[in-house]
Structure 1
Amino acid sequence: MASQPWFGLPGDSRLLRLSGALLGVFIVWLIVTTIHPVGPMIFLWVPIPAGGVVLTAVYWRTSCDPRLPGPTRRFWRHLTAVAVLVTAGTSSQVAEVLDNPGGGGLQTNPVMVAFNGAAVLLIVYALARLPLDRQTPGQVVRILLDAGTVMLAAGVFMWYFQTRPMLGREDTTTVVGSLALTAVALVGVFAVVKVMLSGYSFIDTKGLRLLIIAMAVGTVAPPAQTALQAYGARAFPMQIGLPAMFFFAAWAGEQQRVAAAGGASRRGSPSRRRRYYSLLPYAGVAAVDGLLIHVSWVAKANDPVVVGAAVLLTALVVLRQITAFRDNGRLLDQLNHNATHDALTQLPNRARFNTELHRAVGGDPGRSVAVALIDLDDFKKVNDTLGHEIGDLLLVAVAQRLKDCVGEQGMVARLGGDEFVVVLDGADPQAGDLVADRIVEALRLPVVADGYELPIRASIGIADGHTRDEPSVLLRHADIAMYAAKNLPGTAYLHYHRDMTGIRSNDPAHFGSGPLPTPGETPEHRQRLDQAADTALVL
């Protein structure tokens, strides 16, 4: 039977409860000792390495959970090694404190720097191996700028509260070690923020947030301790910070395992995740601005590093916004293109054609405007016999030929299905004939699509008009002429004239005596289509 949740922690988490109990007992014992020292000093320091041991056990159990995907287990295996390194580094600090009680609490030593530096680099490696969501080049630039902004803000605080007070010390080894650890920590901050902003597919959302909290606690504790000691305080924030860091880190690992047990989505919610973390760079700028106010007004100091960092952070945010504006502009252009163009042929669609035709007939009075409607005969047979994929290839090839024929003289659009339309602004009937002749010649050659040779027969109707004509009337006239052209052999075109009014199919009364070929059924064209169909059936 599963145990009940304890203060909001996952229900079946004995190791996590042990980590929380160590933190709680330590805080109580520290308060009691601060009021009235009692008991041996070792009781104040043992919970720190003990918390690291519990953290290692939690991560190892999570990394061995078979319900988690491979990349997730690999990530937590790397963090298990990180927990071992951090535990070894903090244990060396505790050993130094117990060996030198008058040394002033936890101090930076070469052993700790080596272990913690290796731990941070291993975290960066683990994050680098996480499969992340795909990003556009603009998104990558913004992510790097945001991560750099947060890293710079963290670096300013570390320098002001931890590194700067140590610069006057005679212990060069301690100063160099602190600087090296700070630099490595900043690399870790950059990597974590980059993952947060890039999108993570294999880490539980809540677990990653808890891991970030743990890293934040571990990052803030050293400069806080240095700052308090500078003012003569006797409290050691790292005494509380390290057990708290171990607790939140253990909670992150346990949350990943519990999420897998409950069948929770490991992908999280992209919209919530991106909205939550997009505030990080602005929070970093606000924090450095607050530090600038503190340095200028409270501390009455003129610190060029803080001032320069504030200016640089502002420049990074401005650059980030410029990049975002450019990406938004490209996105709007793409959306506008998708709204006005056919997805298959990339030609203008019906909406764009209507806009262009209204613009043409609304121009200067007396200008000629021609509309040519083009319909592919027997296109349905190609789809039914060879498949829609071959039909799509045929449409794309015809669209490109029409575009090459019209060039800069007009606009080619796809109305839908196998119907295309051309708008010729300023073209008289003779110019329309030249374009139509080029189209007939271009469609004379068959289209080779996926190994099939497909003959083309098209019927073209041209409506000659002028500015101030009704667009719908021009299109209707072109439609009538196109249906009349279907009665002619091969690919042919006709200009609309009044005698065609009402014609929608072959009507011998309007074209003299004698039978006319059925639309799309000229002997040569029918023979070529039948050959293509027979080839498809054989293959």
Structure 2
Amino acid sequence: MNRLGNRGWLAYLLAGAAITGTTLFSQRWTVAGATALQVSAVLAVLYGLLRHRPARPVFWWLTAAGLGFYAAAQAWWRIGFGGTRPDIPTESYDDLLFFLAFGCSAAALLVLAGRYVPPVQRRADGLDGLIVFVGMAGVTWTVAAEPFLVGHDGNASAVLLFGTYEILDLIRISLAGMVVLSAGRRSTAERLMLGGTLTQIVGDVVFTTAQAGRNVYGWDPALLTGLRITELQDLLWVFGSVLIGAAALHPAMARPAVARSTDGRMSRLRLVVFVLLAVACPLLSGGFRPGSTTTFVPVLLSAVLSLLLVVRMGVLGGLVQRRAEALDAALRQQDELRAELEHRATHDSLTGLANRAALTTAIEAATARPPGARGWLVLLDLDGFKQVNDNLGHPVGDELLVALGDDFRAVAPDGLVARLGGDEFAVVLGPATAETVEERAAALLRVASLARRVAGHPVQVSASLGLLDLDQAGTVARALHDVDMALYAAKGAGRACYRFAAAPAAN
């Protein structure tokens, strides 16, 4: 039963299409059948609201109201004039009903467009809708509006009425264009609803254009054998209502439209539509009607359309510029983050000196060079630092380590100074003689033993050093082992001194 209910929209659509087709063969059946179908579409929307209970029902309530007014207006038109009325509805109650129908339809499309368009891009999409409005106004002016005005010259009420219909239709076309041109995939219910709305709009355009053409050119309303303009427009109006009714019966109508962000970008479909409007509007500005001299309005609309397109290109250019700037900022931020991560991976967080990983890399690079170009490795351990930490606290000890690190870096500006953890440091020097290295070692001992005042406390420590000629080291592990042995030798000799690592024994 549930599955059958979910297929009810398809049964309604097929039945509605069949009944719509049969209305072409009988004038009497057209009046009854077409009106019944339009009323059934209203009932279908109301049933869909009751059955599926959409989260945002405002759109469907407005749609139901629009279909109801539409059905009432066209029933009045068909019954009162036999479906062969010679002109647009004028000075009759059905005008008010049509206006209410168009107003509800436009309001429903406005609600739908608001759901499709995220707030961040409503300015760009609103501008696109205005472009469609002005472009279609330029086209319809020459094709329909001017011919109608010529045929009703001096009839102010008819002109006002026609203008109202045209403006309402243009508003609906613009809003429908905003929805259709929006990005993303649509549900079956959304496609049916948009198809029905566009079908009804096409019916309005066909009717208005045909009537205007008949007034000026004397067109025979017959388009095909046995099919007249009045019948074609009725076919489109009625079948549009059937499509909307089927959309309301579809289970997908309960799912609200989801805003699909395009960040103001212009899709290919939008570009094609804008190009067609930009070409059609100026081409028709010379007057589509033979002998037309009223070119001011289409020329003005063409100018406004060109201005809007330039503004739209400016918006798009601004978007491109902002995206380029955002991308550039993101890349800079990424580079800065990468540099920061690399720095953290190779540097001590307290002193900012190189860490053990960086020291290992430096020793690997040195031992890879040929002997004579490898340089020296100095391992330094503070004497008396534990007492500073125990007596004065770790904050004082940390501040002392930072000060010592700066001093060690000043003594060996051309070398790599690293903190290995705790109170242990290392220095990688370039190639030098033993005498030069001894001078550097003496300088390191001197700055390590300086009397200092740290956080208001007098502090003094010393250091023991192990020195290794990297020409004697074959591997990183061997180098660290040998220099560590030299450091222990310095500590065993009484501290505050340095010792060279012993040369490896000859085989």
- Superposition TM-score, scaled by structure 1 size: 0.58
- Take 2:279 and 2:426, find their aligned partners in 1: how far apart are those partners? 83
- Take 2:426 and 2:210, find their aligned partners in 1: how far apart are those partners? 101
Partner of 2:233: 241
Match among 42, 52, 70 for residue 56 of structure 1 = 42
- Take 1:20 and 1:460, find their aligned partners in 2: how far apart are those partners? 79
Q: May I ask how many residue pairs the two structures share in their alignment?
A: 378
Match among 49, 55, 69 for residue 54 of structure 2 = 69
Alpha-carbon distance, 1:83 to partner: 0.5
Within the alignment, does 1:318 sit opposite 2:310 as a pair? yes
What is the letter of the counterpart of residue 72 of structure 2?
A
Partner of 2:194: 209
- Take 1:273 and 1:308, find their aligned partners in 2: how far apart are those partners? 25
Partner of 1:458: 350
Within the alignment, does 1:308 sit opposite 2:300 as a pair? yes
- Take 2:158 and 2:247, find their aligned partners in 1: how far apart are those partners? 37
Contact 1:19 1:247 in 2 (8 A): yes
Contact 2:117 2:125 in 1 (8 A): no
Alpha-carbon distance, 1:106 to partner: 5.4
Alpha-carbon distance, 1:331 to partner: 0.5
Contact 2:132 2:177 in 1 (8 A): yes
3-state DSSP of counterpart to 1:13: helix
Contact 1:214 1:245 in 2 (8 A): yes
Matches within 5 A, 1:140-151: 140-151=122-133
Per-residue deviation, residues 452-477 of structure 1 (Å, max 9, x unmatched) = xxxxx832349xxxxxxxxxx9xxxx
Partner of 1:160: 142
What is the letter of the counterpart of residue 284 of structure 1?
L
Matches within 5 A, 1:267-278: 267=258, 275-277=268-270
Partner of 1:117: 99
- Take 2:281 and 2:337, find their aligned partners in 1: how far apart are those partners? 52
Alpha-carbon distance, 1:181 to partner: 2.3
Partner of 1:26: 23
- Take 1:189 and 1:3, find their aligned partners in 2: how far apart are those partners? 36
Partner of 1:489: 400
Alpha-carbon spacing, 1:17–1:209, altered in 2? closer, same or farther (3 Å): same
3-state DSSP of counterpart to 2:317: helix
- Take 1:94 and 1:141, find their aligned partners in 2: how far apart are those partners? 42
Alpha-carbon spacing, 1:172–1:92, altered in 2? closer, same or farther (3 Å): farther
Any unmatched runs of 5+ in structure 1?
Answer: 5-9, 30-40, 354-413, 422-456, 463-472, 474-479, 517-521, 525-539
- Take 1:117 and 1:48, find their aligned partners in 2: how far apart are those partners? 20
Matches within 5 A, 1:258-269: 258=250, 260=252, 267=258
Within the alignment, does 1:81 sit opposite 2:65 as a pair? yes
What is the letter of the counterpart of residue 220 of structure 1?
V
Contact 2:55 2:255 in 1 (8 A): no
Alpha-carbon spacing, 1:317–1:212, altered in 2? closer, same or farther (3 Å): farther
- Take 2:426 and 2:301, find their aligned partners in 1: how far apart are those partners? 87
Contact 2:141 2:298 in 1 (8 A): no
Per-residue deviation, residues 334-358 of structure 1 (Å, max 9, x unmatched) = 011111214xxxx9344xx6xxxxx
- Take 1:215 and 1:292, find their aligned partners in 2: how far apart are those partners? 27
Contact 1:132 1:198 in 2 (8 A): no
- Take 2:401 and 2:425, find their aligned partners in 1: how far apart are those partners? 18
- Take 2:304 and 2:159, find their aligned partners in 1: how far apart are those partners? 26
Partner of 1:281: 274
3-state DSSP of counterpart to 1:305: helix
Alpha-carbon distance, 1:499 to partner: 8.1
Alpha-carbon distance, 1:52 to partner: 1.6
- Take 1:169 and 1:50, find their aligned partners in 2: how far apart are those partners? 38
Alpha-carbon spacing, 1:499–1:320, altered in 2? closer, same or farther (3 Å): closer
What percent of counterpart residues are identical?
15
What is the letter of the counterpart of residue 151 of structure 1?
F
Alpha-carbon spacing, 1:507–1:321, altered in 2? closer, same or farther (3 Å): closer
Contact 2:351 2:402 in 1 (8 A): yes
- Take 2:256 and 2:155, find their aligned partners in 1: how far apart are those partners? 51
Partner of 1:227: 212
3-state DSSP of counterpart to 2:202: helix
- Take 2:268 and 2:260, find their aligned partners in 1: how far apart are those partners? 10
Alpha-carbon distance, 1:118 to partner: 1.6
Partner of 1:338: 330
Partner of 1:183: 167
What is the letter of the counterpart of residue 148 of structure 1?
L
Alpha-carbon distance, 1:313 to partner: 1.4
Partner of 1:132: 115
Within the alignment, does 1:93 sit opposite 2:77 as a pair? yes
Contact 1:205 1:267 in 2 (8 A): no
Contact 2:214 2:221 in 1 (8 A): yes
Alpha-carbon spacing, 1:222–1:179, altered in 2? closer, same or farther (3 Å): same
- Take 1:216 and 1:106, find their aligned partners in 2: how far apart are those partners? 15
3-state DSSP of counterpart to 2:352: strand
- Take 1:211 and 1:484, find their aligned partners in 2: how far apart are those partners? 85
Within the alignment, does 1:14 sit opposite 2:11 as a pair? yes
Alpha-carbon distance, 1:112 to partner: 2.4
Alpha-carbon spacing, 1:14–1:120, altered in 2? closer, same or farther (3 Å): same
Contact 2:116 2:182 in 1 (8 A): yes
Contact 1:94 1:106 in 2 (8 A): no
Of structures 1 and 2, the one with the larger relative CO (CA 8 A, separation 6+) is 2
Per-residue deviation, residues 213-269 of structure 1 (Å, max 9, x unmatched) = 2243133123222134233214352432233233134224424543529x9996598
Within the alignment, does 1:295 sit opposite 2:295 as a pair? no
Per-residue deviation, residues 128-149 of structure 1 (Å, max 9, x unmatched) = 4445256465x33321221111
Contact 1:150 1:281 in 2 (8 A): yes
Instruction: After superposing the two structures, state which structure 1 stretch, 206-215 or 507-516, moved more.
Output: 507-516
CA RMSD of aligned residues (A): 4.6
Instruction: After superposing the two structures, state which structure 1 stretch, 231-240 or 84-93, moved more.
Output: 231-240
- Take 2:89 and 2:190, find their aligned partners in 1: how far apart are those partners? 34
- Take 1:320 and 1:337, find their aligned partners in 2: how far apart are those partners? 25
Instruction: After superposing the two structures, state which structure 1 stretch, 115-124 or 227-236, moved more.
Output: 227-236
Alpha-carbon spacing, 1:95–1:160, altered in 2? closer, same or farther (3 Å): farther
Per-residue deviation, residues 289-343 of structure 1 (Å, max 9, x unmatched) = 45346628x656552222222222122112211210111111011011111214x
Matches within 5 A, 1:424-439: none
Partner of 2:320: 328
- Take 1:75 and 1:106, find their aligned partners in 2: how far apart are those partners? 28
3-state DSSP of counterpart to 1:179: helix
Any unmatched runs of 5+ in structure 2?
Answer: 223-227, 355-364, 366-376, 383-396, 428-440, 450-454, 458-507
- Take 1:285 and 1:70, find their aligned partners in 2: how far apart are those partners? 39
